[in-house]
């Protein structure tokens, strides 16, 4: 079995895979990572592990995990299951690398656009012959609400809410309309632009806001909240062959 560890800035996702099947997943604070790894080690027969860290993982923690398993640290030099044509490959986020790897694994020989709706909204495109071309990065829902509050004198900070009407007739409803309708139109618009060039496009939506957005998008998409974890597992398997 494989252990996948996805380290964010505040939380860590740990997943157990039996071949391609996700059989367990837990989310813990960064400070609790070692205790949770020990608990999973006692519960499952783990052979290999991969660590992906967009946050700052203490080196002592990764060294400690490496004593228990054969660990692959995902980085810019890791062998990947696709041809990376990004002009600045060393700046490409490892979360985006994992998402593209999942697309190669689950949608082989297809032109695929992966949209990750989290803190930022990232768009990553890979061709049917497994060439990664790049994509786009824009502010996520929470960042849009936050920036309206941070960069103005009087606009309030609101929680995410689906607007009832395209026309906001109060400040709060105007903010909800602008933020939510804006991001929905952005996503639908970019999908449309890609489909003008790639009519057979497969679209994957993942990330923390995927469920909220997927119900409102006009475009045909596949929503998968575990796509990044599945990509990390595939990278681990790819490097184990």
Catalytic residues: 95
**Is 239 strand, coil or helix?**
coil
First to last CA, the chain: 15
CB 187 within 8 A of CB 139: no
172 contacts: CB under 8 Å, gap ≥ 6:
156, 158
Q: How far apart (Å, rounded) are the C-alpha atoms in residues 234 and 85?
A: 20
Q: Is 142 annotated as a binding residue?
A: no
Q: Is 13 annotated as a binding residue?
A: yes
Q: Is 119 annotated as a binding residue?
A: yes
Q: How far apart (Å, rounded) are the C-alpha atoms in residues 98 and 110?
A: 17
Q: Is 75 annotated as a binding residue?
A: no
Token pair listed for 132:
């990664």
Q: Is 178 annotated as a binding residue?
A: no
**Is 209 strand, coil or helix?**
coil
63 contacts: CB under 8 Å, gap ≥ 6:
none
Q: Is 86 annotated as a binding residue?
A: yes
Q: How far apart (Å, rounded) are the C-alpha atoms in residues 131 and 133?
A: 6
Q: Is 8 annotated as a binding residue?
A: yes
Q: Is 95 annotated as a binding residue?
A: yes
Q: Is 166 annotated as a binding residue?
A: no
Q: Is 118 annotated as a binding residue?
A: no
Instruction: Name the binding residues for ATP.
Output: 6-13, 119
Instruction: Name the binding residues for K(+).
Output: 116
Instruction: Name the binding residues.
Output: 6-13, 86, 93-96, 116, 119, 171
Instruction: Name the binding residues for substrate.
Output: 86, 93-96, 171
């Amino acid at each position: 079995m494989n252990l996948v560890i996805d380290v964010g800035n505040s939380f860590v996702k740990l997943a157990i895979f039996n071949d391609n099947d996700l059989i367990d997943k837990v989310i813990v604070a960064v400070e609790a990572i070692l205790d949770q790894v020990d608990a999973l080690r006692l519960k499952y027969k783990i052979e290999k592990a991969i660590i992906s860290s967009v946050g700052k993982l203490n080196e002592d923690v990764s060294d400690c995990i490496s004593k228990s398993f054969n660990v692959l640290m995902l980085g810019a030099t890791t062998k990947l299951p696709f041809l990376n044509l990004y002009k600045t490959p060393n700046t490409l986020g490892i979360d985006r690398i994992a998402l593209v790897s999942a697309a190669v694994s689950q949608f082989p020989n297809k032109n695929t656009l992966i949209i990750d709706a989290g803190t930022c909204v990232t768009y990553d495109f890979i061709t049917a012959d497994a060439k990664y071309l790049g994509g786009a990065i824009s502010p996520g829902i929470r960042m849009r609400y936050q920036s309206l509050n941070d960069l103005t004198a009087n606009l309030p900070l609101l929680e995410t809410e689906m607007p009832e009407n395209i026309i906001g007739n109060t400040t709060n409803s105007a903010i909800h309309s602008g933020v939510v309708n804006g991001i929905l139109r952005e996503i639908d618009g970019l999908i449309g632009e890609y489909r003008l060039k790639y009519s057979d496009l497969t679209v994957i939506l993942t990330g923390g806001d995927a469920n909220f957005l997927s119900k409102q998008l006009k475009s045909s998409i596949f929503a998968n909240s575990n796509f990044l974890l599945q990509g990390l597992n595939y990278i681990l398997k790819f490097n184990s062959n």
